[in-house]
Structure formats: structure tokens, C-alpha cells
Chains A and B, each alone.
Chain A
Amino acid sequence: MNCTETREIIHSYLNDELEEQLLAGVVSHLAGCSGCRRELGNLHTSLDWLRKTYPEQAPPGDLWEKIQGAIETR
């Protein structure tokens, strides 16, 4: 597998969505290619950034009561 082919499926690799044969190809390419490893690292960094920027937040505590109220009055 070459760099172009690897980068086409690197997202699927990151998503853990590659079939066994392709996965083996990517893994062995990454082992020998610092450029693609860097690309993968960048991808990790930006996803990490995304998750920190939009962290999970607790819903308001009175949601259930409000929904019950709305259902009853409709």
C-alpha cells in the first residue's frame, strides 16, 4: 500500500472500520512511513481538540417535568 492509498482510508482506520486485509496493509505502511504517521497524528490532534472544545454537558434537571407538562397540555 502506498501513501495515497493509505491516506484515502486513514479515516476509516481511525474509526476502526477497516476490514482485516486493508487494516493489515495500513498498519504495515504506517510502520515504515513517517509522513503518514504524522498525518495520523494530526488527525488525532484535531479530533482531540474538537472533543475538548465541545465537551459533554449535563442536561437541565427539570427536563422531565417540563416534557411531562407539555405532553399533558397537548
Chain B
Amino acid sequence: MCQPSGTTELAEIGNQAVRGPDFSNVFDEFQRPIYNYLLRLTQNHAQAEDLTQETFIRVHRSLPTFRGDASLTTWIYRIATNVSLDHFRRRATRQAKAALSLEETQSEREWVVDENAPAPEQVASQSEMSDCVQRFIWRLPPSYRTVMVLHDLQGLKNREIADVLDCSLHTVKIRLHRARKKLRAILDAGCDFAHDERNVFVCEPKQTETEEAGG
């Protein structure tokens, strides 16, 4: 799509050492992970697409100043994370809610269902998952959510996540540990997840009393 032809490709590589990374190469390498990162955070295809565009527009703008102090991966994930935080803040403000943040203080509170969570029908058509399954990631505090998505879904190392979020390695480890604990607790106590006859993930509450209907 945006791959240069064979000869220009060689020229690009030759210039890369002087000019820094080429934008089209960076886009080719990172469009998929960044789109999936933002999709996993927002659970909404349209929003993920918008935020991916915004991320790469910022990448394009800042690429000439990229000095290689951070790895390209952590640098781009940091931009994408900031774009997502801006998005959630804007939305929270719009809804006159307390601003969401990555701050430790907020994240240490007990986990609550995020009222900003997207309506299930927004994503249901593609993923065909039940409401309960889809909302799992939204039941985590934002900072836990980000760390878990980065580590367990995007495959970043703890050290890289600390760089992306500008926090200590220790903090990353704690958040990841707690996020996984909560995942385990949800799987144990909340629901049985299984594939139904159409091979679609379904949620079957273990108890007759389901959660209080939210929102």
C-alpha cells in the first residue's frame, strides 16, 4: 500500500541512518499494533480508528525530532497512550464526570464498573461477545487496564511499559499483578465463560442472581 518499490526502498534504507526513521515504514510496522491497542482500550472500532489516525498524525509531526533516546516502540506507544488519555478526558468532561487519570491514587480504589464503558452493541456486531465478556476490561481501573492491555495483549515488557507510562518498574509490576488477580476473581466468581455451539464466547452467570443491572 505505502511500500516503496524495490529501488526506492534501498534508497530509503540508505537515508534512514541520516534522517531517522521513514514515516511510511513506521506506519507499516506499527499501524496494526497501535490500532489493536486503541481498540482494546476503547472497545469501539470507530473510536479506535480515529485515535489511530490522531496517533500517526502526531507521530508524523514529531518524527523529525525523534532522537532514539527511547526505543521507537515505547515512543509510539507513549504517543498513542496520550492520545487515548486525551480522548477519555474529553469524554469524561463532556459527561461531567470526574476526569479519568493514570494516577496511582485513583487506581488504588476498589474496582468499579466504568460508567463510560461503551454500549455493547457498539462492538457486538464484530466480536459477537456477550455484554459481560466485553465489559471485563472496563471493570478495571484505567491504570490497571492500560498495563494489562500493554503487557498481556500487546506483548510489551514491564520495562517498556514503565517507559511508556513514565512510572516505576515496581508500579507496573503491582498493577499487572492486581489486574490479573481481578481477572481471575471475575472468572472464578462472576461468570462461566464458554464457547457456545456457534463457537461464540458466551457468559453464563454462576449464580441465579446476576449483577445489578448497570446504566
Contacts and interface: CB of A to CB of B under 8 A. Distances in A.
Do A and B pair up? The answer is yes
Interface of A: 11-12, 15, 17, 42-43, 45-47, 49-54, 56-61, 63-64, 66-67, 70-71, 74
A56 B32 contact: yes
Across the A-B interface, the 10 shortest Cβ-Cβ residue pairs: A59-B35, A67-B56, A46-B183, A64-B2, A54-B40, A46-B184, A56-B36, A59-B31, A11-B177, A67-B53
B66 interface: no
B31 A63 contact: yes
Interface string B48-83: 010011001100100000000000000000000000
27 contacts: A12-B173, A43-B180, A46-B180, A46-B187, A49-B187, A50-B148, A50-B152, A50-B153, A50-B183, A51-B153, A53-B129, A53-B136, A54-B40, A54-B137, A56-B32, A57-B39, A58-B32, A60-B49, A61-B1, A63-B35, A63-B49, A63-B53, A63-B56, A64-B1, A67-B27, A67-B57, A67-B60
- Chain A interface helix/strand/loop/mixed: helix
Interface of B: 1-2, 24, 27, 31-32, 35-36, 39-40, 49, 52-53, 56-57, 60, 126, 129, 133, 136-137, 148-149, 151-153, 157-158, 173, 176-177, 180, 183-184, 187, 193, 201
Contacts of B177: 11
Contacts of A57: 35-36, 39, 126
A74 to B, nearest CB: 7
Nearest to A50: B152
A35 B171 CA distance: 27
B138 to A, nearest CB: 12
Contacts of B152: 47, 50-51
B137 to A, nearest CB: 7
A47 B155 CA distance: 12
A33 B60 CA distance: 53
B139 to A, nearest CB: 13
Given A46-B180, A49-B187, A66 B36 contact: no
Contacts of A53: 129, 133, 136, 193, 201
Contacts of A15: 151, 157-158
Nearest to B1: A64
A63 B55 CA distance: 12
